[in-house]
Amino acid sequence: MSDDLFEPDTQRAISELLTLGATHGIGVTFTPDDEGWTVGYMVGHGGGNLVAGYDLGEAVRAALRPLDQLGNERERARQERSQPR
Protein backbone atom coordinates (compact mmCIF):
# COMPACT_ATOMS: atom_id res chain seq x y z
CA MET A 1 0.00 0.00 0.00
CA SER A 2 1.28 3.46 -0.91
CA ASP A 3 1.76 6.29 1.58
CA ASP A 4 0.72 8.83 -1.08
CA LEU A 5 -2.51 10.69 -0.38
CA PHE A 6 -3.36 10.97 -4.10
CA GLU A 7 -2.73 8.82 -7.15
CA PRO A 8 0.33 9.71 -9.27
CA ASP A 9 -1.89 10.92 -12.16
CA THR A 10 -3.71 13.27 -9.78
CA GLN A 11 -0.41 14.52 -8.37
CA ARG A 12 0.87 15.24 -11.88
CA ALA A 13 -2.35 17.08 -12.78
CA ILE A 14 -2.12 19.18 -9.60
CA SER A 15 1.50 20.03 -10.40
CA GLU A 16 0.58 21.00 -13.96
CA LEU A 17 -2.30 23.20 -12.76
CA LEU A 18 -0.15 24.93 -10.12
CA THR A 19 2.59 25.53 -12.70
CA LEU A 20 0.09 26.97 -15.16
CA GLY A 21 -1.33 29.23 -12.47
CA ALA A 22 2.13 30.45 -11.52
CA THR A 23 2.94 31.15 -15.17
CA HIS A 24 -0.13 33.41 -15.39
CA GLY A 25 0.32 34.92 -11.92
CA ILE A 26 -2.87 33.27 -10.68
CA GLY A 27 -3.22 31.37 -7.41
CA VAL A 28 -5.07 28.05 -7.40
CA THR A 29 -7.37 26.83 -4.62
CA PHE A 30 -8.60 23.34 -3.77
CA THR A 31 -11.65 23.16 -1.51
CA PRO A 32 -13.09 19.83 -0.35
CA ASP A 33 -16.78 19.56 0.52
CA ASP A 34 -19.46 16.90 0.97
CA GLU A 35 -19.85 16.52 -2.80
CA GLY A 36 -16.18 16.36 -3.78
CA TRP A 37 -13.83 19.20 -4.68
CA THR A 38 -13.99 22.73 -6.02
CA VAL A 39 -10.96 24.04 -7.87
CA GLY A 40 -10.77 27.82 -7.92
CA TYR A 41 -8.46 30.73 -8.54
CA MET A 42 -7.22 33.82 -6.69
CA VAL A 43 -5.95 37.05 -8.21
CA GLY A 44 -5.20 39.87 -5.80
CA HIS A 45 -8.11 40.04 -3.37
CA GLY A 46 -10.57 38.39 -5.77
CA GLY A 47 -11.17 35.00 -7.20
CA GLY A 48 -13.77 32.45 -8.12
CA ASN A 49 -14.49 28.86 -8.93
CA LEU A 50 -13.19 27.13 -12.03
CA VAL A 51 -14.61 23.60 -11.70
CA ALA A 52 -16.41 21.43 -9.16
CA GLY A 53 -16.32 17.65 -9.27
CA TYR A 54 -16.47 14.52 -7.16
CA ASP A 55 -12.95 13.33 -8.02
CA LEU A 56 -10.05 15.72 -7.38
CA GLY A 57 -8.01 14.46 -10.32
CA GLU A 58 -10.89 14.92 -12.77
CA ALA A 59 -11.70 18.36 -11.37
CA VAL A 60 -8.06 19.46 -11.65
CA ARG A 61 -7.77 18.22 -15.23
CA ALA A 62 -11.05 19.97 -16.12
CA ALA A 63 -9.74 23.23 -14.59
CA LEU A 64 -6.68 23.43 -16.87
CA ARG A 65 -8.46 24.95 -19.86
CA PRO A 66 -10.51 27.59 -17.97
CA LEU A 67 -7.43 28.62 -15.97
CA ASP A 68 -5.38 29.01 -19.15
CA GLN A 69 -8.20 31.01 -20.78
CA LEU A 70 -8.42 33.27 -17.73
CA GLY A 71 -4.67 33.84 -17.81
CA ASN A 72 -4.72 34.63 -21.52
CA GLU A 73 -7.62 37.08 -21.06
CA ARG A 74 -5.74 38.83 -18.25
CA GLU A 75 -2.65 39.12 -20.45
CA ARG A 76 -4.66 40.56 -23.37
CA ALA A 77 -6.30 43.11 -21.06
CA ARG A 78 -2.88 44.06 -19.63
CA GLN A 79 -1.51 44.60 -23.16
CA GLU A 80 -4.52 46.68 -24.18
CA ARG A 81 -4.09 48.91 -21.11
CA SER A 82 -0.43 49.46 -21.92
CA GLN A 83 -1.10 50.55 -25.54
CA PRO A 84 -0.91 54.32 -26.10
CA ARG A 85 -4.19 55.90 -27.12
Report if residue 23 sits inside a domain.
yes
| Separation CA 82–CA 59 (nearest Å) | 35
Range of 20's domain?
8-82
Task: Specify the CATH number for the domain of residue 65.
Answer: 3.30.160
Beta carbons of 62 and 69 less than 8 angstroms apart: no
pTM reported for the whole predicted model? 0.86
Average pLDDT of every residue of the chain:
92
* 3-class secondary structure, 52: strand
Classify strands 46-53 and 27-33 as parallel, antiparallel or unpaired. Answer: unpaired
In a domain, 74, yes or no: yes
* Cα dihedral 67→35→2→15 (10° resolution): 10
| Structural domains counted in the chain | 1
Q: Which of these ranges, 5-9, 57-61, 69-73, 81-85, has the smallest mean pLDDT?
A: 81-85
Helix H or strand E segment including 29? strand 27-33
56 belongs to a structural domain: yes
Q: Is 61 among the domain residues? A: yes
In a domain, 2, yes or no: no
